[in-house]
Amino acid sequence: MPHNCYAWRVPTNHHDGGPAPTRLEGRATWLVSRAYTRSSGLLNAGFESHGGGLRGYHYRLLAALEEWGPASQADLGRMTRIDRSDVTAALTELESRHLVERSADPAHKRRNIVTITAEGVERLLELDKVIDGIQDEFLAPLTAAQRRQFITLVSRLVNAQR
Amino acid sequence: MPHNCYAWRVPTNHHDGGPAPTRLEGRATWLVSRAYTRSSGLLNAGFESHGGGLRGYHYRLLAALEEWGPASQADLGRMTRIDRSDVTAALTELESRHLVERSADPAHKRRNIVTITAEGVERLLELDKVIDGIQDEFLAPLTAAQRRQFITLVSRLVNAQR
DNA sequence: CGGATGTGTTGGCCTGGCCAACATAGCGAG
DNA sequence: CTCGCTATGTTGGCCAGGCCAACACATCCG
């Protein structure tokens, strides 16, 4: 028995039975759903064991702040595709750990300016390493060339501005 | 205002702001997560408007039953990667619509044999068409060759038996 | 025979994503 | 300048999909 009863349940895969119906196997939406399950499983496991309680939302926010500097919460939401309300909650968590700071915008009383702290940057860099490891694990079945191809194709898929 | 207040919220995309942090844009897990969001958004919209209240779970179960014939609930769960408990609930729903039938296995008293009805097959074929349309929509940004490539790569990714 | 393993069911939990409503601040057209 | 539209942060809630634990049995195997 693991020392931590709440250790993240690494995908048990008790459903590792044979192939799915061919109706599903050939469909992009089904495959993407399975890829997402695998991806988020790995991420959850990583955040659980090396994330110190932070989650995807937190990482995304720290990344945006480090890359583009201080920003309002609404802008952060747009950059990271997180809903305003969820941004609020995640920032409160980050603030309580002193990884970011909120300060009122003098020019716009209704707006907060969020800044990443030195400690926050440090934390972000640690998470970067963890997440890079997860990329490798996730992409393990593909060769380097295939990985590049995959990333190109998925980018095109989700960035179709249409 | 749409006539149905509960019409499925097609992804509002009010977060259609610019690009995400480069830390995210290049990572497979982030891209897959976005692809999944898009995919499930389209599926939800499709099920909402043409699915008559059925959802992904139901489709998967009908597909497995049609393809491999009658099966126990546990086997269905393994084929479709749905947890036993969720299989129970989804089958109850399907049964109430007369799309499947549950009967006790004479040989194994504890086991149910689930069979798809004629009506169930009919429904499945309708859903097939809807879902095929969604594949096209989802893959729209890719050429035919790229679509094939994409499907090959994702298959390899999720079917790595390791 | 007796323990291990399989089965269906109930009830619960969690994450990520989304929405509505509210109070209030800024902005723009008249 | 004022009235209305839009933007902002916050609270509180909903949902789907995915998981797990526990229970009551049945079946199987050593």
- Over the stretch A34-45, which tens digit does the pLDDT of each residue have? 999 999 999 999
**Minimum distance, in Å, between the CA of residue B93 and any CA atom of chain A:** 21
Chain D: bases < 7 Å from a protein Cβ: 7-13, 16-22, 25-28
For CA atoms A50, A155, B8, B83, the dihedral sign is: negative
Residue A102 pairs in a beta bridge with: A114
Counting as low any pLDDT under 50, the low residues of chain B are 1-15
**Minimum distance, in Å, between the CA of residue B55 and any CA atom of chain A:** 13
From A71-80, A119-128, B11-20, the region with the lowest mean pLDDT: B11-20
pLDDT surpasses 50 at A147 = yes
CA atoms within 13 A on the CB side of A11: 16
Q: Supply the pLDDT for residue A113.
A: 95
Token pair listed for A143: 């060769």
Token pair listed for B36: 């999944």
Determine, for residues B150 and A28 on separate chains, whether the beta-carbon distance falls below 8 Å.
Answer: yes
Q: Supply the pLDDT for residue A20.
A: 78
Q: Tell which wins on pLDDT, B96 or A11.
A: B96
Q: Supply the pLDDT for residue A94.
A: 96
CA atoms within 13 A on the CB side of A148: 2
C-alpha triplet B124, B126, B127: angle, nearest 5°: 65
C-alpha triplet A18, A22, A23: angle, nearest 5°: 130
**Minimum distance, in Å, between the CA of residue B91 and any CA atom of chain A:** 17
The integer distance in angstroms from the CA atom of A98 to the C1' atom of D9 is 20
Contacts of A128 in chain B (CB under 8 A): 23
pLDDT surpasses 90 at A143 = yes
Q: Supply the pLDDT for residue A109.
A: 83
pLDDT surpasses 90 at A144 = yes
Determine, for residues A29 and B156 on separate chains, whether the beta-carbon distance falls below 8 Å.
Answer: no
Q: Supply the pLDDT for residue B6.
A: 26
pLDDT surpasses 70 at A10 = no
- pLDDT band at residue A18, thresholds of 50, 70 and 90? low
For CA atoms B20, B26, B30, B31, the dihedral sign is: positive
Chain B residues 67-86 with CB within 8 Å of chain A: 67-68, 75, 77-83
Q: What is the CATH number of domain A26-160?
A: 1.10.10.10
Rounded to an integer, the average pLDDT of A21-43 is 93
Q: Supply the pLDDT for residue B86.
A: 97
Percentages (nearest 5) of helix, strand, coil residues in chain B: 60, 5, 35
Residues B109-136 as b/e (b if ≥16 CB within 10 A, e otherwise) read eeebbbebbeebeebbeebbeebeebbe
- Kindly list the distances between the CA atom of residue B10 and the CA atoms of A157, B30, B40, B77, B89, in Å, as whole numbers in the listed order: 18, 21, 10, 29, 26
- The structure's pTM equals 0.86
Whether residue B144 contacts residue A38, with contact meaning beta carbons closer than 8 Å, is answered with: no
